Amino acid sequence: MKTVLVAYESRGGKTKQTAEAIADACKSRGHEVTVAPLSGVGQPMLDGADVVFIGSWVEGFILFGVRPARAARTWLQNSKSLTDKTVALFCTYGVNPRSSLEVMRALAEANGAKVVAQRAMNHRSPADGAQELVAAVPGL
């Protein structure tokens, strides 16, 4: 059994739905799971988790300037230590996530994360792909 943290930034609730679907998938595999908005996640919560899922919605102008939501970028840039932490990334989008996951990955890796999986979910079916993302994380 692993201790899993699913941390998300959501404005309209879609990314929260994805986070809850990921949490359910982890629980059904017998893991202990905490789900929390990024704003409520500090270093002690990160330190206590074996695996951390980090999710954001994407913002931009549909065809350009598309990137993870500012709050998620700020959180990732805010020098939280993810040293040697197993991390999986997800985002929800309306049209096209473009390079949002790669931006999140670069920020997480700059904080020491070992990013092992990532997935973008369309906001029309935010839970679709949650099982696959969990299955892609070694040890879960």
Closest contact distance (angstroms) between CB of 58 and ligand FMN is: 4
Distance CA 133, CA 124 (A): 17
Closest contact distance (angstroms) between CB of 67 and ligand FMN is: 8
Closest contact distance (angstroms) between CB of 129 and ligand FMN is: 13
> Which of 84, 90, 81 lies closest to 120, judged by CA?
90
Contacts of 128 (CB under 8 A, 6+ apart): 121, 122
Q: At what angle do helices 70-77 and 100-110 cross, to 10 degrees?
A: 20
Residues that bind ligand FMN (CB under 6 A): 10-16, 57-62, 66, 92-97, 123
- Closer to ligand FMN by Cβ: residue 51 or 66: 66
- Closer to ligand FMN by Cβ: residue 23 or 66: 66
- Closer to ligand FMN by Cβ: residue 18 or 86: 18
- Closer to ligand FMN by Cβ: residue 1 or 124: 124
Distance CA 134, CA 131 (A): 5
Burial call 96-127: b when 16+ CB within 10 Å, e when fewer: ebbebbebbbebbeebebebebbbbbebeebb
Closest contact distance (angstroms) between CB of 90 and ligand FMN is: 11
